[in-house]
Amino acid sequence: MKLTSLMISTALATALVAPSAAQDLDAMTPEELLPLAQAEGTVTVYAFTSRIARVETAFEAAYPGIDVIAHDMNSTTQIARIRAENAAGINSVDVVYISDAPVVFSELLASGLIERYVPPRVAGALDDEFTNPLLAQRLSTKVLMYNEAANPDGAPVGNLWALTEPEWRGRVLMVDPLQRGDYLDLMVEFVLRADEMAAAYESHFGTSISLDPGVDNAGVQFITDLFDNDVVLLSSTDDVNTAIGTIDQSNPPVGFTTYSDRRDNEDEGWALQVANEVEPSNGIVFPAVLALAANTQNPAAARLLIDFLMGDDSETGGPGFAPFYVPGDYATRNDIPGHPDAIPLDEFIAWRIDPAATAEIRQEIADLVLMLQ
């Protein structure tokens, strides 16, 4: 009886103080969060990258007594899972580390399934675009890459429209945009940048673009021509990397993949290199987002983990950011300089996606791709 009443009063007290407690937590430093997080003892993260395994090890070494349970699954799966768990009233996840910003902003955040948290420690080093509507930890890419070993003098492609010509027939690779959201966002970007695509057409062919009947703009025309030119669709970026990058190919294809996958060149026997001198652009740059699950059961540990993932005060972000301090990933913090081996972000020509604008025509472009397949 006594125990029951104690539990009830505790529950009531928790319920009553919950809103203000969350605000207090938001303002806390890592040192203040630590004892609370240690009392919670565990934190579960869904991450769209396997590199979370290294973060887990580093976090547990830095903050003993807090067990990180890391699940890596792609963004689409995370979204489906978070929705399903919410519907079932299960609160198993604390931290969400995810790409697919157009869907995350317009659906997960809008329906209150995840919440914004910006660690006060790093807030000053982040531009507004990286803290609103959610915290962005780094920028990732889907850009045109080629085989450096077979093309020692640089990229074999100088204009995206070259990919629609006979020379590249059946030799342009990407992941099926209907299976990976990042690639659908890339297609959307071609359309959002239709004017630049039109200008690039003229620069490549010397004549202004004439659109097929029913085609609205140069972006749609490009996607149509790319598919007509037998673009090869694969099911994972790793397949694309292997196809493009494998050394000792006489006539390797090119394709759209992740710039930072270049870090695996040595281990995998690849010669992946990014094409950065391409008209009008080589692809897209998009944010990797960190957020709290709305009903997190470990609010202090969740915040501490997000704080850790944002990197420490050293030049390279320390152990929490180490897995992401690689050429081709760009820290959002302006006090972590880019990796010395990578093209600096301001010289990198990829388009920065606009999640809100992307979300608006995403379905339309998905239908276009569907029709072309």
Distance CA 224, CA 232 (A): 14
Indicate the residue among 245 and 311 with the shorter CB distance to another protein. Answer: 245
Stretch that binds another protein, among 17-25, 175-183, 215-223, 286-294 (CB under 8 A): 175-183
Buried/exposed 259-273: b ≥16 CB within 10 Å, e otherwise: bbbbbebeeeebbbb
Q: Which one among 268, 297, 316, 361 touches another protein, defined by CB under 8 A?
A: 268
Q: Per CB under 8 A, does 290 bind another protein?
A: no
Distance from the first to the final alpha carbon of the chain: 67
Indicate the residue among 50 and 334 with the shorter CB distance to another protein. Answer: 50
Question: Looking only at residues 308 through 327 of this chain, which bind another protein when binding is defined by CB under 8 A?
Answer: 323
Question: Looking only at residues 132 through 151 of this chain, which bind another protein when binding is defined by CB under 8 A?
Answer: none
In terms of residues, how long is the chain? 373
Q: Per CB under 8 A, does 303 bind another protein?
A: no
Contacts with another protein, 17-46, as mask; x by CB under 8 A: ---------------------------x--
Q: Per CB under 8 A, does 165 bind another protein?
A: no
Residue with tokens 């020379």: 167
Stretch that binds another protein, among 34-42, 132-140, 248-256, 348-356 (CB under 8 A): 248-256
Do 96 and 46 meet the contact criterion of CB atoms below 8 Å apart? yes
Q: Per CB under 8 A, does 111 bind another protein?
A: no
Distance CA 44, CA 87 (A): 19
Do 262 and 327 meet the contact criterion of CB atoms below 8 Å apart? yes
Contacts with another protein, 179-198, as mask; x by CB under 8 A: x-x--x--------------
Element spanning 273, H or E? strand 272-274
Distance CA 107, CA 361 (A): 15
Query: Smallest gap, in angstroms, from Cβ of residue 73 to another protein?
Result: 6
Q: Per CB under 8 A, does 95 bind another protein?
A: no
Q: Which one among 11, 13, 90, 357 touches another protein, defined by CB under 8 A?
A: 90
Query: Smallest gap, in angstroms, from Cβ of residue 193 to another protein?
Result: 22
Which residue intervals of the chain are DSSP H helices? 2-27, 30-40, 52-62, 75-87, 101-103, 120-123, 181-192, 194-205, 218-228, 237-245, 265-268, 299-309, 318-321, 355-372
Total residues interacting with another protein, rule: CB under 8 A: 60
Indicate the residue among 34 and 101 with the shorter CB distance to another protein. Answer: 101
Query: Smallest gap, in angstroms, from Cβ of residue 67 to another protein?
Result: 9
Residue 65 burial class via C-beta count within 10 angstroms: exposed 0-12, middle 13-18, buried 19 and up: middle
Residue 142 CB neighbours (<10 A)? 27
Distances (CA, A) of 57 to 28, 34, 61, 263, 323: 24, 17, 6, 20, 11
Indicate the residue among 194 and 372 with the shorter CB distance to another protein. Answer: 372
Pairing of strands 283-293, 114-115: antiparallel
Contacts with another protein, 207-236, as mask; x by CB under 8 A: -------------------------xxxxx
Q: Per CB under 8 A, does 61 bind another protein?
A: no
Distance CA 364, CA 215 (A): 13
Distance CA 59, CA 69 (A): 11
Q: Which one among 21, 53, 199, 215 touches another protein, defined by CB under 8 A?
A: 53
280 cis-preceded (ω within 30 degrees of 0): yes
Question: Looking only at residues 353 through 372 of this chain, which bind another protein when binding is defined by CB under 8 A?
Answer: 363, 366-367, 370-371
Stretch that binds another protein, among 27-35, 79-87, 192-200, 328-336 (CB under 8 A): 79-87
Distance CA 335, CA 316 (A): 9
Query: Smallest gap, in angstroms, from Cβ of residue 115 to another protein?
Result: 20
Query: Which residues of the shown chain bind another protein in the complex (CB under 8 A)?
Result: 44, 49-51, 53-54, 57, 69, 71-74, 76, 79-81, 84-85, 87-90, 92-93, 103, 170-171, 173, 176, 178-179, 181, 184, 232-239, 241-246, 249, 252-253, 267-269, 323, 363, 366-367, 370-371, 373
